[in-house]
Amino acid sequence: MLTPRPDGRVESQVAVTLPIMAPRLQGELHADGRVELALWGAGDLGRLRFSALAGPYVHAPNLVATPSGGAWAAQSDPVLVLRGVAYRGFTPSRKCAAWDRTAHPRSRVTRRGDRRRIDLPWAVLLIETRGDDLVVSAGADLDEAERGLGLAAETIVTEAEHYAAHCDQMAEADPVLRSMVMQGTHAALSAVRRDERGRFDGLAAGLAYSAPARTYYRDGYWTLQLLLTAAPAVVHAQIDLLAAGVQPDGEAPSGVIVSGPEMALAWETLRTTVFGYDWIHKRRADWWSDHFDSPLFFVLALGDYVRATGDVEPVDRNWPFVRAIYERYVGLSRDGLPAKPRHDRDWADNVYRAGHVSYNIGLWIGALDAIVELGAGQDPDLAAQAGATAEAARAAVATQLKRPHGGYPDYLDTPADIAEDHLTLDSLTLLRHDAVPGAEALEVLESVRRRLETRHNPGQGFGDWGMMCAHPPFSRRGDLRSKTVFPYRYHNGSDWPWLDGLYAGERLRRGLPGWRYPLTRWWEFCLSQGWMGAVEYFSPPWGRGSLLQGWSSLPAAVALAHRETVLAGDAD
């Protein structure tokens, strides 16, 4: 359905959904005549209708071009230009988000000449017809919307084209790899959000994760792997923002809410009036309080940032949090390893994993190594403690986690007689942080190749479609909820591009062939389905998750980190 071109762009004969994410404006554009728009931090704006664009269509980050027109989103202001179309109408949103239960006055629509103005309670939208161009500008207030409308149509197009060219970070590659890197770079860069004054306002998780506007520890960590090189100042700002969510005892939520006034009020009303919400989201700025993996990602982000930049300022300022996080997980340890309570609060948030979870233990050992490295000049006593704890943890992995049949369990809670032994990609955090010996790591990677690469596992029944995050499906039905109840859906076997990047990275850094399949097969499948951009997850029987997901940039980040090897080609 979608074909990658030698220039890294993607073409199609039929209209597909184009996700748009600029620093403020976002939405989904359908070339057959509509675009749903939203403004970061403010909320949904409404649906604009226009005459259809006739194909063929050429897609690039935040733009689509056709022989007679197209659509381009600016970077400097929240403004979009549609060329070669006629205005057909606009339907304002009645609430800032689907969950919004507050009462809002009706939006006011006025027109003067070729300009329409829509005043929503939380934003302003301006639509102006300029010959064959339709310019659409949004803002938290009229001043911001007018700044965008003040841009010439050619300036908007130029900004969009320059941005797309900036995302083209592997021009030497073949069309599939080049387009994957372009779209992956776009996923990371477009995650960088701004407020109405142009200030950094967090890394968005993805197009479907903007209401309430929030930024995650976990998703943000994998997104910043590309940004460490492309935009290190953004990583510094993200660390500063996430520090606000870390509690004195080392606890941290899944994410930090950064909504603007109207959306924040609507969310706080929901949080404090609907039964159970204030238990899940305990504090005003918390998105899903007390996530088991979040504090570990905070420490890992500090370590990665210092290694990439040499700047220790964020470490100096946040060292009390680092100590508190260390003490928190030591206090949660059993048999030398942190034991997760039986809840659904880590990345696998549809699974009640308990006890020794391989994924979390890999993060813990990586965080310990970071504390040793960061604490050498900062806090030698804590660095020494962390070093001893890391040594003991690696020994405990060998004695407590290694299974008789080889490999490591998804989770193992011996006192409760709970064990889920299927193979998972998220357990590769153990390999990423060298928590297991090299020979055993190679055995695990071979098992992943044979069992989680669908090209080598015909027993899963859907052909060659990419990587499964877990296989076989979960054996303990009582540990599952929501989407993950169904085999091959969500955490129960879908392809998650960030996990593909984790796996490909381990093959590349160990000099193993077979890295191209996890780097690109997910993207080839997306193209075949007409899904434009880096999706969150997918599987053949269940479809896809969110469009334009920030942490789905990890395959591109891995390809760029191993550029010479990747361009030389794969032997498998």
Share of the chain above pLDDT 90, in %: 98
The rounded distance, in Å, linking the Cα atoms of 72 and 62 is 6
For all residues of the chain together, what is the average pLDDT? 97
Q: What is the pLDDT of residue 6?
A: 98
Whether residue 258 contacts residue 241, with contact meaning beta carbons closer than 8 Å, is answered with yes
Tell me what pLDDT residue 308 has.
98
| pLDDT grade for 98, boundaries at 50, 70 and 90 | very high
Q: What is the pLDDT of residue 533?
A: 95
pLDDT at 311 over 80: yes
pLDDT given at position 381: 98
Q: Is the pLDDT of residue 73 over 80?
A: yes
Select from 566, 538, 540, 542 the least CA-distant residue to 552: 538
Structure confidence by residue, pLDDT tens digits, 176-207: 999 999 999 999 999 999 999 999 999 999 99
Which has the closest alpha carbon to 491: 303, 351, 300, 316? 351
Contact yes or no for 109/46 (Cβ under 8 A): no
- Confidence at residue 185, expressed as pLDDT on a 0 to 100 scale: 98
pLDDT (0 to 100) of residue 191: 98
User: Is the pLDDT score of 212 beyond 80?
Assistant: yes
Asked if residue 71 has pLDDT above 80, the reply is yes
Q: What is the pLDDT of residue 275?
A: 86
Mean pLDDT of 453-470: 97
| Residue 154 pLDDT grade (very low, low, confident, very high; cuts 50, 70, 90) | very high
- Structure tokens that stand for 429 in this block: 């955090």
Q: What residues are paired with 413 via a beta bridge?
A: 418
pLDDT class of 424 with cuts at 50, 70, 90: very high
Overall size of the chain counted in residues: 572
Q: What percent of the chain has pLDDT over 70?
A: 100
How would residue 404 be classed by pLDDT, with cut points 50, 70 and 90? confident
In the predicted model, is pLDDT for residue 512 greater than 80?
Answer: yes
Band (pLDDT 50/70/90 cuts) for residue 403 is confident
Query: How far apart are the C-alpha atoms of 333 and 322, rounded to whole Å?
Result: 17
- Binned at pLDDT 50, 70 and 90, residue 299 comes out as very high
* 118 has a pLDDT exceeding 80: yes
Q: Which residues contact 54 (CB under 8 A, 6 or more apart)?
A: 66, 67, 68
For residue 406, the model assigns a pLDDT of 73
